[in-house]
Amino acid sequence: MTDLLESRHDAGVVRLTLNRPTVRNALNTDLLGALASALDRAAQDETVRCVVVHGADSHFAAGADIDELAERSASDGPGDPRLGHWQRIQRFPKPLIAAVEGYCLGGGCELALCADLLVVANDAQLGQPEIRLGLIPGAGGLQRLAITLGKARTMHLVLTGERISGGQAYDWGLASQCCGHGEALDTALATAERLAEGPPLAQRLAKQAVLAVTETSQQAAFELGRRSFELLLSTDDKAEGIAAFRDKRPPSFSGK
Ligand code: CO8
């Protein structure tokens, strides 16, 4: 089965479906690479004006693939292909909308936060549970949360790993639209259709200008977060966190 489904919703809108439903659409290297390549193609194709990304089977994505994460260590470093895939996703220059139902966790939440517009079902569940694996968010999610939510709420989310509902994410300013259960994709596609009729050059520059205010000036913080994530990949606590997830038991962390 293909991990990423790609279709034209209408003339100017591409729909990308994360499609690993048996693992709640967890983002493995192949899926991330396919997503990055699809966005590269959409960026080059003048007929594409807007992209909507969502998950199959009523969930967005439950994070990085924990089986792959178990094998990663600090020595993978900048040569790790996943890093390049994330960078290509984050550099997509046209409007990108994430339509979120169900679980939107860890790297899945980080992917949703990369989108320019986030449409959430009110009962979706968003969170950064990496701390329970002895890790931190490594793809810019921590920084994007801090920029939008400020210190107190971001600390709470990343230190406890607790989830918030889609309704809460909307109330806190993380999401641009909130809708009922099962309505996120249609709501996102309707917004995408409107964007596809807009002026592409002005949209591209508007996106750049907003990111310049909210993200570009924070590059040192993004870089520190990425390096901290890489360091944590080789700790005993990460190994214990992942073992505990697999054994379906609470972890016992040693601080090493
Ligand atoms: N990776 C791999 N497999 C997963 C993942 C995942 N992230 N999430 C769920 N699965 C698998 C489960 O192992 C299970 O498999 P099996 O059927 O073989 O036992 C199957 O999906 C269904 O899962 P559950 O039985 O647990 O289903 P529930 O509905 O009870 O729970 C949850 C769903 C809440 C999503 C639960 O599975 C869960 O907590 N998953 C882990 C969530 C998590 O910790 N995510 C963070 C991962 S770390 C991360 O994302 C770091 C990103 C770093 C980016 C770095 C860029 C450089």
Question: How far apart (Å, rounded) are the C-alpha atoms in residues 215 and 222?
Answer: 9
pLDDT of residue 1: 64
pLDDT at position 124 over 90: yes
What ipTM does the predicted assembly reach? 0.98
Residue 77 pLDDT class (50, 70, 90 cuts): confident
CB 119 within 8 A of CB 176: yes
Give me the DSSP letters along 187-228.
HHHHHHHHHHTS-HHHHHHHHHHHHHHHTGGGHHHHHHHHHH
**For residue 22, how far is its CA from the centre of ligand 1 (angstroms)?**
10
Question: How far apart (Å, rounded) are the C-alpha atoms in residues 2 and 19?
Answer: 7
The reply to whether 215 belongs to the active site is: no
**For residue 106, how far is its CA from the centre of ligand 1 (angstroms)?**
9
pLDDT at position 41 over 70: yes
Average pLDDT on 235-254 reads 97
pLDDT of residue 74: 86
Question: How far apart (Å, rounded) are the C-alpha atoms in residues 46 and 255?
Answer: 51
CB 108 within 8 A of CB 60: yes
pLDDT of residue 256: 96
The reply to whether 107 belongs to the active site is: yes
- Ranking 8-12, 132-136, 160-164, 220-224 by mean pLDDT, the lowest is 8-12
Instruction: Indicate the pTM of the whole model.
Output: 0.97
Residues 6+ apart with CB under 8 A from 169: 118, 120, 124, 126, 175, 178
* Cβ of residue 5 lying under 6 Å from some atom of ligand 1: no
- Ranking 27-41, 69-83, 203-217 by mean pLDDT, the lowest is 69-83
Average pLDDT on 67-89 reads 90
Question: How far apart (Å, rounded) are the C-alpha atoms in residues 39 and 60?
Answer: 17
Residue 209 pLDDT class (50, 70, 90 cuts): very high
Testing ligand 1's pocket by substitution, the residue of 18, 19, 20, 23 carrying the most ligand atoms inside 8 A of its CB is 23
Question: How far apart (Å, rounded) are the C-alpha atoms in residues 54 and 162?
Answer: 22
Give the residue whose CA is nearest to atom 22 of ligand 1.
23
**For residue 164, how far is its CA from the centre of ligand 1 (angstroms)?**
17
CB 132 within 8 A of CB 91: no
Question: In percent, how much of the chain has pLDDT > 90?
Answer: 94
**For residue 85, how far is its CA from the centre of ligand 1 (angstroms)?**
20
Residue 157 pLDDT class (50, 70, 90 cuts): very high
Give the chain's mean pLDDT: 96
pLDDT at position 80 over 80: yes
pLDDT at position 76 over 90: no
Testing ligand 1's pocket by substitution, the residue of 3, 24, 67, 238 carrying the most ligand atoms inside 8 A of its CB is 24
Question: How far apart (Å, rounded) are the C-alpha atoms in residues 26 and 90?
Answer: 18
